[in-house]
């Protein structure tokens, strides 16, 4: 998905494609790092799964270069037309008949910032979910202990496997691919699946399969230009505080 | 007929401000609202919700609900929903709301719109605006099919109206089993008497510039004296200088207070995305080119260790 | 210190004696050397920020051991100017003359390198052939066994070659030019070139129209585009060139290493990062997008030379634009059809090391109205007169 650290331009109700650079969503990289750490610790293998157009394969290969063992690419050119609900349904189909102990993903996608898909998928495949984790411990074949950043503190949760976890980027610092990893990635299995072979009818796809719809994109409200104060803090803070009170009614 | 079921949030036995904001907004739109109130020893708060306009309060009160858990809370909201026949479910986009919103929607077989910051309602036709791409763009969205509307709304968007409690019309929900595969062990709460980030009208935040735990403690009294929530950047929390619940930003808590003081925060993109909705921003940073100054209304280029004592002194004068 | 600026911002004047399009190392060097010749009513117009293009995207390798007489003399002048530049501009350019290897992996390649060594020697350039054992002594980590697909059979070694801090070169020339009175205008894009009766009269920019008598295009990857605005057609083809940088490691690589056959080059900076590049992307393009394909091919090739790098992590990759000419040599030339219009381009993958000589000679040409002997071979009409320079063998994977 687009690298949101770069400039994002909105024009005529749409995001301007030109100048966008496509990357793995940063929270998903955190999820991959967590998965790699788990398999390094207790064994097993990491499979990457993405739904998207041809160019999404590049992100999978980058993930393989980081150390994932294999990848599945569900090819879907109009992926952008689907909402979280439709994505969760397609993921459900893609996972049918496959074995897994733990599904990890980012707490949200960095383009939509919605955070809906993973819990919806969890519901559709009847798995427990723990979202927004900042730590994990005690990984075994049967269970994992998760530390979730909740509203009133860190919630400590034991989850039996299989289950779904979404990660907060405080969890780890994703590794960079090594030269050897980059080279080995070319030889790792990358399974390509056409949407048609997943028995996904037209009414599950795109806008038809979606429950919500983005009418258009708009520019966020820009803040009016502020004032800057330079000099001795004793003076500048007083000046700023005076204006804060007179202009902005601070503590009024 | 449009009817809103609002999922109430509780902290320290009291209804949170972000919940009151949702009731006030429903009332301002002339919409009928009901509440679902979940937790341990929370029944007493039903009158507060009735005072806010909840025509019925569905109560799930049980020790097992002390700490939020996805499975029981989802089942209880669905139970309330079925009894209420509400056409919309509103939640706040708190950590609980973010976890619960998609699960409730999926169980009802419908979609959801999360973290909404502007809402236009015409019966059950909804136009919602929600920031995306690290707040660099805003999506204008709608529900494209008929059915239940499930929405989570960012706190601080609507103003909460103070109302007197009123006798509530209550319905007691039966407590379901939790998920057999999940066991919530505990919640590690740190200093729970503090003002919460998404509740605060003033936030004082410390960044990497505070230099360490001592630096955080140097800043904290300013927050206390202002009755403000104490926030922090990701760098501060990742370094372990403050617990993660203080973290402001896309990864932490998204905030929209009236006043935001950024002290020694350079303004990484995810931090800016999480606080640039604040009404007034004051920033202190040594680096005149720090990105935080792009969003600050009052930017003080200087040393926070010199600025904070002056700020405290000025606040002291204002508080008289 | 906080507010001392290395160069000032100015309003755009109505009239300049000379307008330079392009605020890279070449454009700023041209401005600097013009100012040394007493011509200071000069504007450098940069569409983005100075050093945005090739100057900020190259791998900062300097050398002069080219193949042809024209190339050798020119790059020798450039290297000598570089050697004195830090002192002249009072700016630490972190120039490290650590020595430069061009590896040969076949008898044909070795014979080409031997020709270069002889040509270099004849023109007084320090450059000679080493056998694999001698190479191994200086590069203990290199694999000289016969296991790789392309074993190392020898190298052309060039002791004065090395690396420099590329941003510092840009900033130093900018400051030097600014101090002499040249105006640097960033975010100023040339939209049209004004020509009246065969003479340059000015340029139209996004900030207004500017009059000038002399106009120099020094825009590397965007040369075709700027020349098109003047109605001049020259044989530039723009290709992307990619590079990458690894995380920092303990210093272990003390020389620049280039392999034409494997299409790679690498060096280690003072900070310990490995700066790596390869040949141009095969397709003409103006996009500066990094590709995974580059990363994959680089990794495969570099591991053949240096198997110890297998765990090295790639920090970042990027791309720049190269304006290639048919003979892999630049065009530095007045344009006969348009009085007052000069083109400095075609720097392909070998432009950064040429910055001082390019700027120096362009300034001479513009100031004196006469092409200096040194750059006479690089006039644009060589393509019409069929006398190409023939640097391809030494410049294709250059740097």
Residues A185, A249, single domain; the answer is no
A183: which chain C residues are within 8 Å (Cβ-Cβ)? 296, 299-300, 303
Rounded distance between C-alpha atoms, residue C225 and residue C221, angstroms: 9
The residues with which C214 forms a beta bridge, in sequence order, are C18
pLDDT of residue B270: 84
Supply the DSSP symbol for A250: T
pLDDT of residue C395: 61
Q: Residue A67 sits in which domain range?
A: 10-209
Instruction: Dump pLDDT digits (tens) for C176-192.
Output: 999 999 999 999 999 99
Residues A145, A240, single domain; the answer is no
Quick check: A179 and C247 CB within 8 A?
no
Instruction: Dump pLDDT digits (tens) for C131-170.
Output: 999 999 999 999 999 888 899 999 999 999 999 999 999 9
User: Are C320 and C53 a contacting pair, CB within 8 Å?
Assistant: yes
Helices A56-66 and C292-305 cross at an angle (nearest 10°) of 30
pLDDT of residue C399: 43
B69: which chain A residues are within 8 Å (Cβ-Cβ)? 157
Quick check: A250 and B259 CB within 8 A?
yes
pLDDT of residue C1: 39
- Least Cα separation, residue C298 to chain A (angstroms): 8
Q: Which residues contact B193 (CB under 8 A, 6 or more apart)?
A: none
Q: Does A180 touch chain C (CB under 8 A)?
A: yes
Q: Does B239 touch chain A (CB under 8 A)?
A: no
Q: How many C-beta atoms surround the C-beta of residue C376 within 10 A?
A: 15
Q: Does A214 touch chain C (CB under 8 A)?
A: no
Interface test with C, best of A59, A182, A229 (most C CBs within 10 A): A182
Strands (E), chain C: 15-21, 42-45, 61-62, 100-104, 128-130, 154-158, 162-163, 183-185, 190-196, 199-205, 208-217, 237-248, 256-259, 264-268, 273-280, 314-324, 331-334, 341-345
Q: Does A99 touch chain B (CB under 8 A)?
A: no
pLDDT surpassing 70 at residue B87? yes
pLDDT of residue C260: 86
The residues with which B233 forms a beta bridge, in sequence order, are none
**Which residues between 97 and 156 in chain B have a beta carbon less than 8 angstroms from any beta carbon of chain A?**
98-99, 101-103, 105-107, 110-115, 127, 129-145, 147
Rounded distance between C-alpha atoms, residue C124 and residue A214, angstroms: 69
Residues A129, A235, single domain; the answer is no
Quick check: C309 and A179 CB within 8 A?
yes
Instruction: State ipTM.
Output: 0.91
Determine if the pTM surpasses 0.95: no
Quick check: B188 and A250 CB within 8 A?
no
Domain residue spans in chain C? Answer: 15-58+167-235+326-395, 97-160+237-324
DSSP string, B211-242: -SHHHHHHHHHHHHHHT-EEEE-HHHHHTTSS
Radius of gyration, CA atoms only, chain C: 21
Q: Does A100 touch chain B (CB under 8 A)?
A: no
Q: CATH number of the domain that B75 lies in?
A: 3.40.50.620
Indicate the fold that domain C15-58+167-235+326-395 takes in CATH.
Answer: FAD/NAD(P)-binding domain (3.50.50)
DSSP string, C51-62: T-SGGGTS--EE
Quick check: A180 and C299 CB within 8 A?
yes
Q: How many C-beta atoms surround the C-beta of residue A203 within 10 A?
A: 8
A186: which chain C residues are within 8 Å (Cβ-Cβ)? 296
Closest to C349 measured CA to CA, from C46, C25, C57: C57
Q: CATH number of the domain that A127 lies in?
A: 3.40.50.620
Quick check: B259 and A214 CB within 8 A?
no
For residue C314, name the pLDDT band (cuts at 50, 70, 90): very high
Quick check: B95 and A148 CB within 8 A?
yes
C302: which chain A residues are within 8 Å (Cβ-Cβ)? 179
Quick check: A151 and B243 CB within 8 A?
no
- Least Cα separation, residue A137 to chain C (angstroms): 27
Quick check: C299 and A21 CB within 8 A?
no
Residues B230, B136, single domain; the answer is no
Rounded distance between C-alpha atoms, residue B84 and residue B2, angstroms: 11
Instruction: Dump pLDDT digits (tens) for B88-124.
Output: 999 999 999 999 999 999 999 999 999 999 999 988 8
pLDDT surpassing 70 at residue C379? yes
Quick check: C299 and A175 CB within 8 A?
no
Greatest alpha-carbon span in chain A: 70
pLDDT of residue B192: 58
Q: How, if at all, do strands C208-217 and C341-345 pair? A: parallel
For residue C323, name the pLDDT band (cuts at 50, 70, 90): very high
CATH number of C97-160+237-324, picked from 3.30.9.10, 2.60.260.20, 3.90.550.10, 1.20.120.10: 3.30.9.10
Q: Quick one: average pLDDT of B263-269?
A: 92
Q: Which two tokens stand for residue C243?
A: 């590079």
pLDDT of residue B225: 92
DSSP string, C162-207: EE--HHHHHHHHHHHHHHTT-EEESS--EEEEEEETTEEEEEEETT
Flag whether B315 is in a domain.
yes
- Position of tokens 């290969």? A61
- Least Cα separation, residue A22 to chain B (angstroms): 13
A185: which chain C residues are within 8 Å (Cβ-Cβ)? 296
pLDDT of residue B177: 84
∠ CA A198-A203-A204, nearest 5°, is 50
pLDDT of residue A93: 94
**Nearest CB to B112 within list A5, A107, A116:** A116
pLDDT surpassing 70 at residue C393? no
pLDDT surpassing 90 at residue B1? no
For residue B190, name the pLDDT band (cuts at 50, 70, 90): low
User: Are B25 and B90 a contacting pair, CB within 8 Å?
Assistant: no
pLDDT of residue C62: 96
Quick check: B102 and A207 CB within 8 A?
no
Q: How many C-beta atoms surround the C-beta of residue B194 within 10 A?
A: 17
Interface test with A, best of B136, B270, B299 (most A CBs within 10 A): B136
Residues B38, B80, single domain; the answer is yes
Supply the DSSP symbol for B243: -
Burial of B146 (0-12, 13-18, 19+ CB in 10 A): exposed
User: Are C18 and C38 a contacting pair, CB within 8 Å?
Assistant: no
pLDDT surpassing 70 at residue C398? no
Q: Quick one: average pLDDT of C39-47?
A: 97
**Nearest CB to A157 within list B145, B184, B300:** B184
Q: Does A85 touch chain B (CB under 8 A)?
A: yes
- Whether a cis peptide bond, with omega within 30° of 0, leads into A208 is no
252 residues of chain A, pLDDT tens digit each: 888 888 888 999 999 888 788 889 999 999 999 999 999 999 999 999 999 999 899 999 999 999 999 999 999 988 888 999 999 999 999 999 999 999 999 999 999 999 999 999 999 999 999 999 999 999 999 999 999 998 888 899 999 999 999 999 889 999 999 999 999 999 999 999 998 899 888 888 989 999 999 999 999 887 888 899 999 999 999 999 999 998 888 887
Quick check: B127 and A215 CB within 8 A?
yes
Supply the DSSP symbol for C339: B
Between the CA of residue A178 and those of A63, A71, C121, C245, C249, what are the distances in Å? Answer: 11, 18, 41, 12, 13
Q: Does B31 touch chain A (CB under 8 A)?
A: no
pLDDT of residue A137: 95
Radius of gyration, CA atoms only, chain A: 22
Q: Say how many domains are in chain A.
A: 2
Residues B221, B274, single domain; the answer is yes
Distance of CA C191 to the CA centre of its chain: 25
Residues A133, A248, single domain; the answer is no
**Nearest CB to A183 within list C289, C299, C315:** C299
Q: Does A229 touch chain C (CB under 8 A)?
A: no
Q: How many CB pairs under 8 A join A and C?
A: 40
- Least Cα separation, residue C283 to chain A (angstroms): 18
User: Are A27 and A172 a contacting pair, CB within 8 Å?
Assistant: no
Residues A65, A167, single domain; the answer is yes
pLDDT surpassing 70 at residue C2? no
Neighboring chains of A (3 or more beta-carbon pairs < 8 A):
B, C
Rounded distance between C-alpha atoms, residue C377 and residue C373, angstroms: 8
User: Are A19 and A10 a contacting pair, CB within 8 Å?
Assistant: no
Q: How many CB pairs under 8 A join A and B?
A: 287
Of all helices (H) and strands (E), which one includes residue A118?
helix A117-124
Instruction: Dump pLDDT digits (tens) for C189-225.
Output: 999 999 999 999 999 999 999 999 999 999 999 999 9
Q: Quick one: average pLDDT of C114-130?
A: 96
Quick check: A227 and B298 CB within 8 A?
yes
Residues A43, A127, single domain; the answer is yes
- Least Cα separation, residue C293 to chain A (angstroms): 9
Quick check: A180 and C311 CB within 8 A?
yes
∠ CA C157-C159-C162, nearest 5°, is 105
Q: Quick one: average pLDDT of B121-142?
A: 92
Q: Residue B27 sits in which domain range?
A: 3-172
Flag whether B205 is in a domain.
yes
C310: which chain A residues are within 8 Å (Cβ-Cβ)? 178-180
Quick check: A176 and C300 CB within 8 A?
no
Q: How, if at all, do strands C208-217 and C15-21 pair? A: parallel
For residue C287, name the pLDDT band (cuts at 50, 70, 90): confident
The residues with which B285 forms a beta bridge, in sequence order, are B301
Instruction: Dump pLDDT digits (tens) for B18-30.
Output: 999 999 999 999 9
Residue of C nearest to A176 (CA): C313
Q: Quick one: average pLDDT of C96-119?
A: 95
Q: Say how many domains are in chain B.
A: 2
Residue of C nearest to A175 (CA): C313
Residues A198, A233, single domain; the answer is no
Residues B125, B12, single domain; the answer is yes
- Least Cα separation, residue A167 to chain B (angstroms): 10
Residues A198, A234, single domain; the answer is no
Quick check: B315 and A251 CB within 8 A?
yes
Residues A109, A61, single domain; the answer is yes
Q: With b meaning 16 or more CB within 10 Å and e meaning fewer, what string describes B282-311? A: bbbbeeeebbbbbbbbbbbbbebbebbbbb
pLDDT of residue B261: 96
Residue of B nearest to A240 (CA): B298
The residues with which B140 forms a beta bridge, in sequence order, are A216, B129
Please give the torsion angle defined by the CA atoms of residues B106, A122, B139 and B141, in that order, rounded to the nearest 10 degrees: -10
Q: Does A179 touch chain C (CB under 8 A)?
A: yes
Q: CATH number of the domain that B253 lies in?
A: 3.40.50.1220
Quick check: C296 and A179 CB within 8 A?
no
Q: Which two tokens stand for residue B72?
A: 């029981």
SS (H, E, C) A11-29: ECCEECCCCCCECCCHHHH
Coil, strand, or helix at residue A217? strand
DSSP string, C122-171: HTT---EEE-HHHHHHH-TTS--SS-SSS---EEEEETT-EE--HHHHHH
Residue of C nearest to A59 (CA): C292
């Amino acid at each position: 998905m687009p690298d949101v650290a770069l400039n994002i331009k909105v024009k005529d109700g749409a995001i301007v494609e030109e100048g966008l650079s496509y990357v793995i969503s940063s929270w998903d990289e955190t999820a991959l790092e967590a998965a790699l750490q788990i398999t390094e610790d207790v064994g097993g293998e990491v499979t990457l799964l993405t739904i998207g157009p041809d160019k999404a394969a590049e992100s999978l290969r980058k993930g393989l270069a980081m150390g994932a063992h294999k990848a599945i690419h569900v090819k879907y050119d109009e992926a952008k037309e689907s909402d979280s609900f439709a994505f969760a349904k397609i993921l459900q189909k893609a996972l049918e008949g496959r074995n897994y102990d733990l599904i990890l993903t980012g707490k949200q996608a960095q383009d939509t910032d919605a955070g809906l898909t993973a819990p919806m998928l969890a519901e559709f495949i009847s798995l427990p979910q723990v979202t927004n984790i900042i730590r994990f411990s005690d990984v075994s074949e049967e269970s994992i202990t998760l530390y979730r950043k909740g509203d009133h503190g860190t919630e400590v949760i034991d989850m039996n496997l299989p289950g779904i976890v979404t990660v907060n980027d405080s969890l780890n610092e994703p590794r960079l691919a090594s030269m050897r990893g980059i080279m080995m990635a070319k030889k790792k299995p990358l399974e390509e699946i056409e949407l048609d072979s997943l028995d996904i009818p037209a009414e599950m796809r795109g806008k038809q399969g979606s429950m919500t719809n983005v009418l258009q994109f708009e520019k966020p409200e820009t803040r009016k230009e502020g004032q800057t104060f330079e000099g001795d803090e004793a003076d500048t803070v007083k000046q700023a505080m005076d204006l804060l009170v007179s202009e902005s009614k601070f503590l009024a | 007929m449009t009817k809103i079921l609002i999922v109430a949030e509780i902290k320290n036995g009291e209804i949170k401000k972000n919940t009151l904001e949702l009731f006030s907004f429903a009332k301002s739109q002339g919409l009928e609202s009901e509440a679902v109130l979940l937790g341990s020893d929370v029944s007493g708060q039903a009158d507060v919700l009735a005072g806010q306009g909840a025509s019925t309060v569905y109560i799930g009160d049980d020790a097992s609900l002390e700490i939020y858990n996805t499975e029981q809370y989802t089942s209880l909201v669905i139970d309330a929903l079925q009894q209420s026949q509400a056409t919309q479910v509103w939640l706040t986009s708190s950590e609980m709301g973010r976890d619960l919103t998609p699960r409730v929607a999926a169980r009802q077989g419908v979609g959801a719109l999360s973290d909404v910051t502007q809402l236009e309602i015409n019966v059950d036709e909804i136009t919602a605006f929600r920031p995306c791409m690290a707040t660099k763009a805003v999506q204008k969205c709608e529900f494209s099919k008929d059915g239940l509307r499930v929405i989570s709304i960012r706190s601080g968007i609507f103003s909460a109206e103070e109302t007197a409690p009123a006798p509530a019309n209550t319905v007691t929900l039966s407590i379901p089993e939790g998920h057999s595969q999940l066991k919530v062990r505990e919640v590690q709460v740190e200093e729970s008497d503090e003002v919460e980030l998404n509740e605060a009208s003033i936030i004082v935040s410390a960044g990497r510039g505070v230099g360490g735990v001592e630096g955080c403690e140097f800043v904290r009294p300013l927050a206390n004296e202002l009755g403000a929530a104490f926030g922090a950047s990701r760098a501060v929390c990742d370094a372990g200088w403050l617990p993660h619940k203080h973290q402001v930003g896309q990864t932490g808590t998204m905030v929209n207070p009236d006043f935001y003081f950024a002290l020694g925060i350079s303004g990484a993109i995810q931090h800016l995305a999480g606080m640039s909705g604040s009404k007034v921003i004051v920033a202190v940073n040594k680096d005149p080119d720090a990105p935080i100054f792009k969003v600050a209304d009052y930017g003080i280029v200087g040393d926070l260790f010199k600025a904070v004592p002056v700020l405290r002194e000025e606040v002291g004068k204002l508080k008289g | 210190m906080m507010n001392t600026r290395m160069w000032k911002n100015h309003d755009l004047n109505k009239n300049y004696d000379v307008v330079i399009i392009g605020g890279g190392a070449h454009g700023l060097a041209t401005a600097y050397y013009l100012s040394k010749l007493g011509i200071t009513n000069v504007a450098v117009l940069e569409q983005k920020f100075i050093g945005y293009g090739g100057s900020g995207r190259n791998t900062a390798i300097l050398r002069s051991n080219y193949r042809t007489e024209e190339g050798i003399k020119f790059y020798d002048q450039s290297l000598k100017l570089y050697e004195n530049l830090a002192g002249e501009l009072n700016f630490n350019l972190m120039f490290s003359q650590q020595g430069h290897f061009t590896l040969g992996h076949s008898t044909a390649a070795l014979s080409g390198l031997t020709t270069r060594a002889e040509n270099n020697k004849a023109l007084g350039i320090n450059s000679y052939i080493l056998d694999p054992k001698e190479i191994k002594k200086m590069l203990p980590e290199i694999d000289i066994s016969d296991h790789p697909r392309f074993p190392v059979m020898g190298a052309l070694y060039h002791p004065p070659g090395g690396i420099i801090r590329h941003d510092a070169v840009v900033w130093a020339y900018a400051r030097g030019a600014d101090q002499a009175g040249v105006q640097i205008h960033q975010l100023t894009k040339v939209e049209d070139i004004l020509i009246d009766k065969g003479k340059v009269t000015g340029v139209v920019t996004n900030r207004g129209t500017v009059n000038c008598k002399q106009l120099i295009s020094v825009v590397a990857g965007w040369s075709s585009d700027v020349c098109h605005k003047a109605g001049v057609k020259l044989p530039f083809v723009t290709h992307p060139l990619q590079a990458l940088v690894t995380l920092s490691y303990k210093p272990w690589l003390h020389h620049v290493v280039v392999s034409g056959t494997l299409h790679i080059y690498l060096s280690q900076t003072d900070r310990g990062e490995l700066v790596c590049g390869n040949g141009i992307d095969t397709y003409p393009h103006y996009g500066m997008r990094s590709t995974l394909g580059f990363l994959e091919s680089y990794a495969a090739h570099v591991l053949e030379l240096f198997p110890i790098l297998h765990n090295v992590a790639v920090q970042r990759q990027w791309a720049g634009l190269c304006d290639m000419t048919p003979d892999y040599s630049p065009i530095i030339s007045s344009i006969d059809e348009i009085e007052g219009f000069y083109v400095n381009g075609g720097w392909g993958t070998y432009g950064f090391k040429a910055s001082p000589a390019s700027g120096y000679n362009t300034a001479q040409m513009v100031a004196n109205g006469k092409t200096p002997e040194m750059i006479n071979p690089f006039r644009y009409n060589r393509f019409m007169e069929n006398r190409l320079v023939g640097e391809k063998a030494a410049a294709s994977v250059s740097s």
